[in-house]
Amino acid sequence: MFVDADAPWCGHCKALAPEYAKAAKLLKEEGSEIRLAKVDATVESELAQKFSVSGYPTIKLIRGADKDPIEFTAGRMAEDFVTWLKKKTGPPAESVDSVEAAKALTANNEVVVFGFFKVDLLV
């Protein structure tokens, strides 16, 4: 879950709200399982303290009770949220089996690292 801890009086939080909502809509339309949530940290002060919220807005990816939350520090546009979330929750690698797939991958990403591995097909 991607959580925005904010305060109702915070100007930065108010400016962020439409982009955060847009990111939630984009992810939902894509069929993503990632959920976005918003918490009023001034009301839920114990929760804010538990997750080390010291300023507003504080946005964190909470992946489960056994993992530490990851603080979001990228841009403040919907596309920034979506891109960051996909990188943090997506597969660590992608198989490429053709030149066309390699070209598509490099066209859609700023940085691409290819690895070539010998595969024993008779396992």
The answer to whether 16 and 4 are in contact (CB under 8 A) is yes
Please give the Cα distance from 46 to 24 (Å, whole number). Answer: 25
Q: Can you name the residues that pair with 5 across neighbouring β-strands?
A: 39, 58
Catalytic residue among 11, 31, 64, 115: 11
What is the per-residue DSSP string for 52-89? T--SSSEEEE---TTS--EE--S-SSHHHHHHHHHHHH
Decide if 12 is catalytic.
yes
Residue 115 is a catalytic residue: no
Active site residue 90: no
Half-sphere exposure of 61 (CA within 13 A, CB side): 14
Query: Which residues are marked as active site?
Result: 10-13
